[in-house]
Amino acid sequence: MSNLRDIPAPGGVLYKDVKRHALQALADGEWKPGEAIPSEKKLVERFGVSIGTLRKAIDELVAENLLIRHQGRGTFVATHRRDDHFFRFFKVAHLDGHRGYPTVELESFRKIKADKSVCTLLGLEAGARAFQLTNVLSLDERPVMIDDIVLPERLFAGLTEAQLRGRPNTLYNFYQEAFGVNVIQTEERLRSVLATEREQALLGVEPGAPLMRIHRVAFSYHRQPVEWRVSTLNTEEHEFIVSQMPKEES
């Protein structure tokens, strides 16, 4: 990685260049999830910038939950474990505000040829192969949400049903550990729908009951789309929490 001259760019955004280089180190797997990044001294030497410029770039990556500072230990690459990172992406809460970890049942898994709309959303070539899976998520032993998920085969080569059923942690943690795919940002669109026979069977609701449909594209570094997800939520006793996350710089 080439050094950066510590001279303010127009608008004073030299630190953005440092941030882009750091993001590339994350995307390339040079800085791995759960591991400490190099010390400030080494990064200052590597990028050829001042300590203030470096810290401003690192501050933004920490604010975006890509890095985590541990007092007295250093700065580490974030992981998708059972902590705040999980609740960044699982946004369902009981109407009283309580948030818990769902139990997940894999309903179906198959390989498909992605249709035109999915190829567009995931940046795939026409007719690209993909994996399609359906999970039913329950809270307090009651089904509350259906997740229909499509994953590009080129990013998840060799994915099996057995892996999905046997994974020990969250789905995004599984992506990270098994395939080196790091979800750092999502974009979602919400709409209200009425329950179909399928949703009646999987969620135990009445036909025509009001539900919420959430369309999500999940992105890795440099806004690379890695997952298309359609979630259907029973809002009788649960709600979807919307929060605005900062976007990665291009």
CA 118 to mean position of chain CA atoms: 18
Q: CA-CA distance, 176 to 113, in Å (whole number)?
A: 24
- 116-138 pLDDT, tens digit per residue, is 999 999 999 999 999 999 999 99
Does residue 90 contact residue 102 with C-beta atoms inside 8 Å?
A: yes
Residue 167 reports pLDDT greater than 60: yes
Residue 250 reports pLDDT greater than 70: no
pLDDT at 13: 61
Of 9 and 174, the one with more pLDDT: 174
Of 156 and 9, the one with more pLDDT: 156
pLDDT at 7: 43
Q: CA-CA distance, 149 to 145, in Å (whole number)?
A: 13
pLDDT at 249: 42
Fill in the DSSP letter of residue 89. Answer: H
Q: How large is the average pLDDT for residues 18-47?
A: 88
Alpha helices for 97-220 (secondary structure H): 116-122, 161-166, 171-179, 197-203
Residue that is written with structure tokens 């943690």 in the block: 173
- 185-215 pLDDT, tens digit per residue, is 999 999 999 999 999 999 999 999 999 999 9
Q: What are the tokens at 168?
A: 């020990």
- 73-115 pLDDT, tens digit per residue, is 899 988 766 555 677 888 999 999 899 989 999 999 999 999 9
Residue 151 reports pLDDT greater than 70: yes
Domains and CATH numbers, the chain: 14-77 (1.10.10.10), 84-240 (3.40.1410.10)
3-state secondary structure (DSSP) of residue 214: strand
Q: CA-CA distance, 126 to 139, in Å (whole number)?
A: 38
Weakest-pLDDT range from 17-26, 147-156, 223-232: 17-26
Q: CA-CA distance, 152 to 149, in Å (whole number)?
A: 10
Q: CA-CA distance, 157 to 215, in Å (whole number)?
A: 24
pTM for the structure as a whole: 0.79
